[in-house]
Amino acid sequence: MVSNLQSLFSKMANNSKRSAIREILKLTQQPDIISFAGGLPAPESFPIDDLKEIVNKVLYEDGAAALQYDATEGVKELRETLVKKYQDEGVECSLENLIITTASQQGLDLLGRVFLNPGDKVICGLPSYLGGISAFQTYGAIMEGVLLDEYGMRSDLLESKLIELKNRGERPKFIYIIPDFQNPAGITMPEWRRLQIIALAIKYDVLIVEDSPYREIRFEGEHQPLMYQLDNSGQVITLGTFSKIVAPGFRIGWVLAHPAINEKLITSKQSADLCTATFVQKIAAKYLKSNRFEINLKYTIDLYRLRRDIMLEGLQSNMPEGVSWTKPEGGLFLFLTLPEYLDAEKLFFKAIEKKVAFVIGTVFFADGSGKNTLRMNFSFVNESQNREGVKRLAEVIKEEMAEHKRKTKKTMELHA
């Protein structure tokens, strides 16, 4: 081994950090721990029997092509199927607007490669998806946070941030938004707020990256249009994926964007992996075109709605006064806010002792705030684990609140 390996690593490699969530998940691998930590789909939702048939069909009908390299921008059959799906929803797009990636996480990484230099600014929500924050920070981006309210990223604070940066002579490369069932908050942005943010992006000449991995998993409420659909200026880049609506093992995502942006993404992807796995793309195309996709998606939605409802009922029944949580209309997550005097990181290790796990909220806040928040995933655990896990977590929170009360009382007595 060389004497100073660290000195040989690139700046990008040294900027890279292990995922905080992945590190947390290592602590939750014990079989007796009820984990609300990972953003994991339910294994029961995986269409295994359907895919067995489709895999055989692909090998029988298109075996040689399926096992060969294909175009960097993706298998034409899959791209055409996705474009038609968007067009049926009223989205104006063509093949030139859509490329396939190795899951949407590669889309985030490619956007970092194409747009970001060290020191560039990216605006994100407080809180926001850790995978997005990490992907952009790897390329040296400085994240500028904007608080959320019940409607998502606050447009008034966003404009204040844009004015602040403009006055400093800085122009952010893009605004990163998860408008549907936001990770981690579970909030959905209504159409009027989406229009406000698009108007600001146009006014201040900034791109929008719309990350949309959960949009199809809606339990209730009114379906909201994609920001890409509402935009007529070419300033919105949308990311999609099969990870949450089919299976994460597919590792297939896509980018919907202006052709000039896609051209740069394709060039960058060529040096990353040449092309996304052809075989899996062929399988995905045939599955997406079959009626089995919609049938299984409906099953997944019904399953996750039940699990969300059970978690909401458990929180309502067990959590002490002073704890609040979001009530998502879809997706996989909800977000808890504890009293300000509680620290979710300290709470996490006590929860592990009670054999229940969650994700500490601070990892989702680019500015290091959110110490009294935590994310809970309701899609993965079964119904009985869901109920028991919420009870255990509530017990830990009550114990911490009681301990704080005792310490406060003792401090007051000492100073009396």
How much is the pLDDT for 27?
Answer: 62
Range with the poorest average pLDDT among 18-27, 37-46, 386-395 = 18-27
Instruction: Retrieve residue 271's tokens.
Output: 């040096």
Alpha carbons within 13 angstroms on the beta-carbon side of residue 393 total 29
Burial of 275 per CB tally in 10 Å (0-12, 13-18, 19+): buried
> For the chain, which residues make up each domain, given as ranges?
5-46+294-414, 51-290
Place of tokens 């608080």: 147
For domain 5-46+294-414, give the CATH number: 3.90.1150.10
Asked whether residue 25 carries a pLDDT value surpassing 70, the answer given is no
- pLDDT tens-place string over residues 263-291: 999 999 999 999 999 999 999 999 999 99
Hey, how many other C-beta atoms are within 10 angstroms of the C-beta on 163?
A: 11
Alpha-carbon distance values, 103 to 106, 255, 398 (Å):
6, 10, 40
Mean pLDDT of the chain: 94
Query: How many residues are listed for the chain in this entry?
Result: 416
Query: How many whole angstroms separate alpha carbon 264 and alpha carbon 271?
Result: 11
User: Could you tell me which residues come within 8 angstroms of residue 123 by beta carbon, excluding any fewer than 6 positions away?
Assistant: 143, 144, 145, 146, 158, 161, 162, 172, 174, 175, 176, 206
How much is the pLDDT for 209?
Answer: 98
| b/e per residue 43-81 (b: at least 16 CB within 10 A) | eebbbeebbeebbeebeeebeeebeeebebbbbebbbbb
Query: How many whole angstroms separate alpha carbon 372 and alpha carbon 197?
Result: 28
The three-state secondary structure class of 285 is helix
Instruction: Retrieve residue 296's tokens.
Output: 């299984």
Helix count and strand count (H, E) for the chain? 14, 14
Query: How many whole angstroms separate alpha carbon 235 and alpha carbon 201?
Result: 8
> Residue 116 — φ and ψ, nearest 5°?
-105, 135
Q: What strand order describes the sheet that includes 174-177? A: 98-101, 253-256, 236-241, 207-211, 174-177, 121-126, 142-149, 152-153
Higher pLDDT, 32 or 50: 50
Asked whether residue 415 carries a pLDDT value surpassing 80, the answer given is no
Element (H, E) at 179: none
Hey, how many other C-beta atoms are within 10 angstroms of the C-beta on 412?
A: 9
Q: Which value, to the nearest 10 degrees, does the dihedral of the CA atoms of residues 325, 328, 334, 335 take?
A: -40
Query: How many whole angstroms separate alpha carbon 232 and alpha carbon 93?
Result: 11
- pLDDT tens-place string over residues 102-117: 999 999 999 999 999 9
How much is the pLDDT for 416?
Answer: 66
Query: How many whole angstroms separate alpha carbon 330 and alpha carbon 180?
Result: 8
Which fold is adopted by the domain 51-290? Aspartate Aminotransferase; domain 2 (3.40.640)
**DSSP-assigned beta bridge partners for residue 255:** 99, 239
How much is the pLDDT for 201?
Answer: 97
- pLDDT tens-place string over residues 286-339: 999 999 999 999 999 999 999 999 999 999 999 999 999 999 999 999 999 999
Asked whether residue 81 carries a pLDDT value surpassing 90, the answer given is yes
| b/e per residue 164-202 (b: at least 16 CB within 10 A) | ebeeeeeebbbbbbbbbbbbbbbbbbbeebbebbbebbe
pTM to 2 decimals? Answer: 0.94
